[in-house]
Amino acid sequence: EDQVTQSPEALRLQEGESSSLNCSYTVSGLRGLFWYRQDPGKGPEFLFTLYSAGEEKEKERLKATLTKKESFLHITAPKPEDSATYLCAVLNTGANSKLTFGKGITLSVRP
Amino acid sequence: EAQVTQNPRYLITVTGKKLTVTCSQNMNHEYMSWYRQDPGLGLRQIYYSMNVEVTDKGDVPEGYKVSRKEKRNFPLILESPSPNQTSLYFCASTRQAGIYEQYFGPGTRLTVT
């Protein structure tokens, strides 16, 4: 059974204080790892897909990296508008495109 | 605008009263899916559909039904809702089954009393 564990559960940062969010996973065969952002009362919004170990992707202050066991979402000089819940999900090589999600990391950035 | 829409956004109902939550996408996506999100449990898949007339169970299908008669619509049916189905529901779609990002609707918050 695929499993995704995200840590920490919650993270409070000061504006400008860089940090990393962790996503550890076990999957029978990894087809891809996804990062989503979810704002309160809204649906998850796609951020990145990573396909293989060593891959990195960037978008504004966010950078996602992938190893064979975990992924990190690095946030550089965060702003209050980066406050949200960040979800990690894996897609295995099975026929169903089911995403297995972690429980999410709630990030709060104080001005 | 490319989007996934759900209706209603909020619903309070009583045990046993049949209800339907609609989901529609305007991106001509083949694959659609329903998830529920509960505190401490994260997002879990209820049902999915690879294409029209093709549906299958996800991880938590008990108490739910779906249908896919048209490509754009994928309604979620609760024939006899129970309080343990109180949750936040999301519909999602993607181009086709495989390594494509899934687009999520805005969510339906359901309360069953």
Q: What is the pLDDT of residues A31-71, one digit of tens each?
A: 999 999 999 989 999 999 999 999 999 999 999 999 999 99
Which among B65, B2, B1 is positioned nearest to B34, based on CA atoms? B65
**In the predicted model, what is the mean pLDDT of residues B92-110?**
90
Judge whether B101 is closer than 8 Å to chain A, CB to CB: yes
Q: Is A103 in Cβ contact with B41 (below 8 Å)?
A: yes
Taking the C-alpha atoms of residue B88 and residue B105, their distance in angstroms, rounded to an integer, is 11
Amino acid at B48: Y
Judge whether B74 is closer than 8 Å to chain A, CB to CB: no
Q: Is A102 in Cβ contact with B42 (below 8 Å)?
A: yes
pLDDT for res A95: 66
Which residue in chain B has the smallest CA separation from A48?
B101
CB-facing half-sphere around the CA of B89: CA atoms within 13 A: 31
Judge whether A43 is closer than 8 Å to chain B, CB to CB: yes
